[in-house]
Chains A and B, each alone.
Chain A
């Protein structure tokens, strides 16, 4: 990775745009498709990944010199699993409804390619401070896309944002619904998340031609 020699600030800003884990590296798509039907779930998922990746990167980085390379994947898994269990329990304790919405996908943070990818590619070869910045940067880059997708899917799919009706009441026919507007059921289905992510990738590459591969 060219990130090694660059300044600390770039560790955070690069994954936000030109090296975004979702739109450029196309990692972590599975959860981006599954849980973005609601903005709240997207936000919680983004924060969870931020916590797991930021802390996990630091832990792995601190242990990087004592981990035997033959069992490093197992060690990494244990670190992620421990952090994910913390997230899962916190959600169950303080946001039970939300944890039911996210269901298995909290547990599946373990298999999120972005996390193992950052451990392997960055934390194993860098100091804790740099690893922390890299973790935060990648998690925010992931979260931003999740929130953008969640915003459009919830707005057009359910007519709400964070569960609050913004376009009127579909049953009492107020607001936009009074003039015949209807929610787009396709937006709630995972295929539409793929198309929204695709459109984001399209816009990003139109703006920055250097990203286009032949």
Chain B
């Protein structure tokens, strides 16, 4: 109780001054505020903004922990110090303490930088704007470490987070006012600013970049390659992983997006806790399948030959697209962001479908941007208000017609 009362006293002391929002935020983040009503005839809804955010974070924790194991596993396999999975999901080669430690050593600093920089900016803006610190960054801060390569330099991440929070969110007026998903803005910034650190066959494996530098200096001999499946397919090479590996997530990729299984569980958790929209998730999957089927049809009708540079990705079985790359993660955790998605039910179907559809389109036709999901969601974020506008106008028109029929 000591700390709580101290914080409360500090808050009282700074009430009405410039720093008040900062102290208020720390106090309410750690404890229930003293001012809360404890009894009386109030309707209490448990799902306030903070609870909503916490639910999403809980849904992502398994992905984060899996990402730590996977980072260590990919490192050990690539460097020849560990063996490839042999016994399915619960292989001892994967779930070893050593893997976890290697992964945690790299991923925890990313998490700390993501939250540290993001929250610092939120605090600064709250003090300048004289309003309370918003909870909006809690989810973004968790999303960011999951969608970057494990070897990303921390200072780049810090620059990108600062850019994403200021330009992606604060200039529009803070949480709830942003047009683009802040986490994806951060990733898009990294992707365009430092493309060598966001794509290629090195950054996905911890230590591979360093190995490359040592080779350049003439100290080591074996280059490490950890190409993602999308990267291999874009070069018309074999993926080299079977479907179960893709589904469980024993593949190279951004930290938290490899395991379709865990993303699926997280998605179900969000749907049953009524936080995430099942309409968006389902329609996005449908969109991706439709686009995948179209490409498969093009290949089987013989319009595209094996010499085409699109052959590798086009001939990928349509449902494999759901398992590789960041599609599943983006659909479940990014597309469903309630602020940037469509608000109307009909709008959500259109919005989700187009995300899935465009994701696969970009993925196949522009191998320079292997992560079509990111660009597709950002694009649809921009269009979400337009979709809503026409859905609402359509409804208005329909009701006007009904009214006229009634009065006539």
Query: A180, B153: Cβ atoms under 8 Å?
Result: yes
Query: A202, B193: Cβ atoms under 8 Å?
Result: no
Point out the residues of chain A lying under 8 angstroms from B195, CB to CB: 185
B390 interface residue, CB < 8 Å from A?
no
In the bound complex, what is the Cα–Cα distance between A184 and B156 (angstroms)? 9
Point out the residues of chain B lying under 8 angstroms from A184, CB to CB: 159, 193-194
Query: B167, A195: Cβ atoms under 8 Å?
Result: yes
Point out the residues of chain B lying under 8 angstroms from A180, CB to CB: 153, 155
Give the contacts of B175-197 with A (CB-CB under 8 A).
Answer: 189, 192-197
CB distance from B186 to the nearest CB of A (A): 12
Query: B194, A185: Cβ atoms under 8 Å?
Result: yes
Contact of A189 among B153, B159, B192 (CB under 8 A): B192
Contact of A182 among B156, B167, B189 (CB under 8 A): B156
Given contacts A180-B153, A180-B155, contact A187 B193 (CB under 8 A): yes
B171 interface residue, CB < 8 Å from A?
yes
In the bound complex, what is the Cα–Cα distance between A185 and B167 (angstroms)? 17
In the bound complex, what is the Cα–Cα distance between A180 and B193 (angstroms)? 15
Point out the residues of chain A lying under 8 angstroms from B156, CB to CB: 182
A170-187 to B contact mask, C-beta < 8 Å, 1/0: 000000000011101111
Point out the residues of chain A lying under 8 angstroms from B192, CB to CB: 185-186, 189
Give the contacts of A175-214 with B (CB-CB under 8 A).
Answer: 180-182, 184-187, 189, 195, 198, 202
CB distance from B9 to the nearest CB of A (A): 34
Contact of B171 among A182, A187, A189, A202 (CB under 8 A): A202
CB distance from B151 to the nearest CB of A (A): 12
B130-168 to A contact mask, C-beta < 8 Å, 1/0: 000000000000000000000001011001000000010
Of chain A, the residue at the smallest CB distance from B171 is A202
Give the contacts of B297-333 with A (CB-CB under 8 A).
Answer: none
Point out the residues of chain A lying under 8 angstroms from B193, CB to CB: 184-187
In the bound complex, what is the Cα–Cα distance between A187 and B194 (angstroms)? 10
Of chain A, the residue at the smallest CB distance from B188 is A186
In the bound complex, what is the Cα–Cα distance between A163 and B196 (angstroms)? 23
In the bound complex, what is the Cα–Cα distance between A181 and B197 (angstroms)? 12
Point out the residues of chain B lying under 8 angstroms from A187, CB to CB: 193
A69-87 to B contact mask, C-beta < 8 Å, 1/0: 0000000000000000000
Return 7 A-B CB contacts under 8 Å, by A number.
A182-B153, A182-B194, A182-B197, A184-B159, A185-B195, A186-B189, A198-B171
| B interface list, Cβ under 8 A from A | 153, 155-156, 159, 167, 171, 189, 192-197
- Other A-B contacts than A181-B155, A182-B153, 6 sampled, CB-CB below 8 A, are A182-B194, A182-B197, A184-B159, A184-B193, A185-B192, A185-B194
Closest 3 CB pairs of A and B: A186-B193, A186-B192, A184-B193
